[in-house]
């Protein structure tokens, strides 16, 4: 069997806080999705390199004004964080905390690729949890700096009233900006292993990966720094993750790296054991590429083009809505071959607009283009493409309150509202718009274009200097939007979305 060459990053896109398990010959990965719905994407791979989205843990986390983006704020940067994925006795489990709901969620299914997930919620937060099954008992490790252990009931539906619930240990404080968090927990070869990220202010001053170990559940724990490397990229430390083995007995670690506007991108490292400690990378470094005994498989794109040809109102798994969508106001079957986005709510800007349909962007460069049919827009409507983060940029058609059409580029003026950068009169009934993203060496520029027939593109406005901010806590996405400022009831038909990656 020929092996697979893994090149880092395995995905140059925002797939943060990953957790990976292996079941027989298949690897499964979950990651943070926050305000994007459906949430908690499940990805599958045969070789840790080629991943495809196969399911989501939930379609809707909560049905309230904030999650529905009708409260004027939304849940940007909140929602589901840092999920833990485990398989035990024929059942898959995913658990995470949700800051805005102040709850800890546990989902389960017996069919990770096609099944529905049963949900249970427990009041209170267990920050960045790690789930561990141990000799008929169930534990969650959580915390930032002060690491706690909490025992759950064996059915994972409540905290065990008579179980262990205590401070396990305290991480380092001196010279540390971000104390240890992001736990991944394992019991292997007589040891309990806990993996963490921290961010010291001293030394290299970048994120790094630590491993704590003990022969006893409650310690004492000893620890080592096991990765302190930036893969040659702008002192951005590669850290936060865990480990997984292969059918052939190889071990690998999975971590991620901040890449500014594109988001947090996952990496895989070779790993060996020495004296009961995991040794990651090659000579203490994260390799750009290395060989494995894993099989070759087809590469699947995390972002796709779409002609919107569907037999039912169920989109490809690559799409996620910005917050919960209003299901009554979108369709791919009302007019076959088109995505129809209808306005039903007034919005002050694209970050407050419901039913914005998004995909991840990818480095080093990528672009997305769409064609819009405009005849059913109403005065005050704005529709097109968005480079979505707090510092957003848009290109599309805006209808003035008196009914004239304009090609408009806009950007966040600082308070969420839109500053019009350039406005050009437009008389045609359809338009093609495009956003080109350049993430090379954190250049982080988005440029905007439009075309009447798609043969010649005209640049409009100025490039957006994309900025990753923690209020959204998500890498830039490209989105299709349509919202009303004056009156609801109009709609736009998108004929296609074409995605290109260099």
Q: Which of 62, 101, 120 is nearest to 324 (CA)?
A: 62
| Cβ count near 102 (within 10 Å) | 10
Cα 321 to Cα 23, 297, 317, distances in angstroms:
30, 29, 11
Catalytic residue among 17, 229, 438, 485: 17
Coil vs helix vs strand at 434: strand
Coil vs helix vs strand at 350: helix
Contacts of 419 (CB under 8 A, 6+ apart): 410, 411, 412, 413
Helices and strands (H, E) in the chain, number of each type: 0, 38
The question of whether 113 is a catalytic residue gets the answer: no
Query: What is the DSSP secondary-structure string of 38-105?
Result: SEEEEEEESSSSSEEEEEEEES-S--STTTTT-SSSTTTT-SEEEEEEEEETTEEEEEEEETTTTEEE
| 490 Ramachandran zone, left/alpha/beta (phi>0; psi -120 to 50) | beta
Q: Which of 167, 227, 264 is nearest to 474 (CA)?
A: 264
Token pair belonging to 88: 């035990």
The question of whether 52 is a catalytic residue gets the answer: no
Contacts of 112 (CB under 8 A, 6+ apart): 23, 28, 42, 54, 55, 87, 92
| Phi and psi at residue 394, to the nearest 5° | -130, 155
End-to-end CA distance of the chain: 30
Distance from C-alpha of 484 to C-alpha of 502, rounded to nearest angstrom: 34
Token pair belonging to 304: 């796709």
Distance from C-alpha of 143 to C-alpha of 100, rounded to nearest angstrom: 17
Whether 343 contacts 484, CB under 8 Å: yes
Q: Which of 149, 159, 40, 47 is nearest to 93 (CA)?
A: 40
Token pair belonging to 463: 């490039």
Token pair belonging to 413: 């003026």
For residue 494, the cross-strand partners are 339, 372
| Cβ count near 58 (within 10 Å) | 18
Catalytic residue among 181, 229, 438, 485: 181
Active site residues: 17, 181
């Amino acid at each position: 069997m020929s092996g697979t060459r893994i090149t880092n990053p395995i995905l140059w896109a925002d797939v943060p806080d990953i957790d990976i398990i292996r079941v027989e010959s298949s690897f499964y990965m979950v990651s943070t999705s926050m305000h994007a719905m459906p949430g908690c994407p499940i990805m599958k791979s045969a070789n840790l390199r080629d991943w495809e989205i196969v399911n989501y843990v939930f379609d809707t986390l909560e049905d309230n004004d904030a999650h529905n983006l009708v409260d004027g704020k939304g849940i940007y940067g909140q929602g589901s964080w840092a999920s833990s994925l485990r398989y035990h006795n024929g059942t898959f489990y995913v658990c995470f905390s949700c800051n805005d709901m102040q709850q800890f969620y546990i989902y389960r299914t017996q069919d990770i690729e096609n099944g529905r997930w049963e949900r249970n919620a427990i009041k209170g937060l267990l920050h960045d949890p790690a789930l561990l099954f141990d000799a008929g008992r169930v534990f969650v490790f959580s915390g930032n700096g002060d690491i706690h252990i909490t025992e759950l009931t064996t059915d994972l539906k409540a905290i065990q009233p008579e179980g262990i619930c205590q401070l396990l240990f305290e991480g380092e404080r001196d010279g540390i900006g971000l104390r240890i968090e992001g736990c991944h927990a394992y019991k292997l070869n007589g040891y309990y292993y806990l993996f963490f990220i921290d961010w010291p202010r001293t030394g290299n001053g970048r994120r790094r990966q630590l491993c704590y170990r003990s022969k006893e559940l409650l310690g004492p724990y000893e620890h080592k720094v096991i990765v302190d490397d930036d893969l040659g990229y702008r002192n951005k430390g590669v850290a936060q993750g865990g480990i997984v083995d292969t059918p052939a007995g190889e071990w690998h670690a999975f971590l991620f790296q901040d890449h500014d506007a594109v988001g947090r991108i996952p990496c895989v490292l070779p790993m060996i054991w020495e004296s009961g400690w995991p040794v990651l990378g090659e000579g203490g470094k994260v390799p750009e590429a290395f060989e494995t005994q894993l099989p070759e498989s087809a590469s699947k794109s995390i972002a796709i083009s779409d002609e919107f040809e569907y037999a039912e109102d169920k989109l490809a798994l690559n799409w996620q809505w910005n917050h919960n969508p209003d299901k009554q106001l979108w369709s791919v079957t009302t007019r076959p071959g088109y995505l129809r986005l209808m306005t039903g709510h007034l919005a002050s800007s694209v970050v407050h607009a419901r039913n914005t349909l998004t995909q991840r962007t990818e480095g080093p460069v990528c672009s997305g283009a769409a064609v819009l049919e405009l005849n059913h827009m109403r005065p005050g409507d704005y529709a097109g493409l968005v480079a979505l983060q707090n510092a957003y940029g848009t290109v599309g058609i805006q209808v003035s309150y008196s009914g004239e059409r304009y090609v408009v580029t806009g950007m966040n003026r600082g308070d969420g509202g839109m500053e019009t950068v350039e406005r050009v009169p437009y008389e045609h009934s359809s338009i093609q718009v495009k956003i080109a993203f350049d993430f090379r060496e954190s250049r982080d520029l988005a440029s905007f274009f439009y075309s009447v027939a798609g043969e010649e593109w005209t640049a409009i406005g100025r490039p957006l200097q994309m900025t990753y901010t923690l209020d959204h806590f998500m890498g830039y996405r490209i989105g299709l939007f349509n919202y009303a400022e004056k009156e609801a009831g109009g709609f736009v038909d998108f004929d296609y979305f074409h995605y290109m990656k260099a």
